[in-house]
Amino acid sequence: MLEKEKRFILRKMDRSRRATNPNHYLKNGTIKKGNREKWKRSKRYWKLLFNLKEICRKIAAVRKIMHNKLANTILKMGNKIFCEKMNYKGLQKTKFGKRIGYKAPSMFLRIVKTKLSYQGKEIEYINTWTVKASQYCHVLDDYQTKKLSQRFHVLPDGTKIQRDCYSAWLIKNVNKTKDKVNREKCLTDYIFFFENYIKTEETLRSLNKQFIASIGF
């Protein structure tokens, strides 16, 4: 709801800026390059800007509350946390930048790290480049390149498992040096994992809720 209100205000601000600064725009609506005239801001624009800052403050506050709740939920399950080391600043420059900025994963990890420190624990980072969790198949003991749009990992027998869930499970089963998946551990743990995965997928599907595209269902 707040994000929708934010987009609404941004559209209003854009219309106000265009109406106040017609000399800064070409006929096709794009900004003129090389125009050094000072940008004008109307009283309405300043009012919208104040409202935008307040909306952003509320979004940040809600996000922090939700991050803390999720961190608490995770830590109720255990205090051994495995994670891929990601360059979130680099990802912000890609097509995922908007979602990265909205979800703030680095903030979430900082919260988890802080909560773990109270127990004398810390996040255990795996070697992303050698583990290659999104490509590995524990049945074939091989790596398969997948397109980003492929949201399910398909086992040799045709079983489909949501890609991120499968990758998370593989990361959980890395070896002691955290640079490779422990296949023997995966083969032992697979039945227990798959039973829980099926229950989770059935629960999510029964909600009849529209999830983000990366979920896949």
Residue among 114, 125, 19 nearest 81 (CA): 125
Query: Residue 78 and residue 3: Cα distance in Å, rounded?
Result: 33
- Structure tokens, 134: 């999104």
Neighbours of 67 (CB within 10 A): 19
Tell whether 112 is covered by a domain: no
Domain that holds residue 150: 134-217
Query: Residue 190 and residue 185: Cα distance in Å, rounded?
Result: 8
Average pLDDT of the residues of the chain: 92
Tell whether 191 is covered by a domain: yes
29: left (phi over 0), alpha (psi -120 to 50) or beta: left
Tell whether 157 is covered by a domain: yes
First and final C-alpha spacing in the chain: 23
Query: Residue 54 and residue 6: Cα distance in Å, rounded?
Result: 10
Neighbours of 23 (CB within 10 A): 8
Cβ(32)–Cβ(24) below 8 Å? yes
Tell whether 16 is covered by a domain: no
> Maximum CA pair distance of the chain?
69
Cβ(126)–Cβ(174) below 8 Å? yes
Q: What is the pLDDT of residue 49?
A: 96
- Structure tokens, 187: 């083969």
- Quick one: angle between helices 43-77 and 105-117, nearest 10? 40
Cβ(159)–Cβ(201) below 8 Å? no
Q: What is the pLDDT of residue 87?
A: 82
Tell whether 127 is covered by a domain: no
Q: What is the pLDDT of residue 73?
A: 96
Altogether, the residues listed in the chain come to a count of 217
Tell whether 83 is covered by a domain: no
Tell whether 122 is covered by a domain: no
Q: Consecutive 10-residue runs of the chain (217 residues): their mean pLDDT?
A: 92 95 92 90 96 95 96 94 86 78 90 95 94 95 91 94 95 95 96 95 88 80
Number of folded domains that form the chain: 1
Q: What is the pLDDT of residue 66?
A: 96
Tell whether 160 is covered by a domain: yes
pLDDT digits (tens, 9 = 90+) for 78-122: 999 999 988 887 777 777 777 888 889 999 999 999 999 999 999
Q: What is the pLDDT of residue 176?
A: 93
Q: What is the pLDDT of residue 74?
A: 94
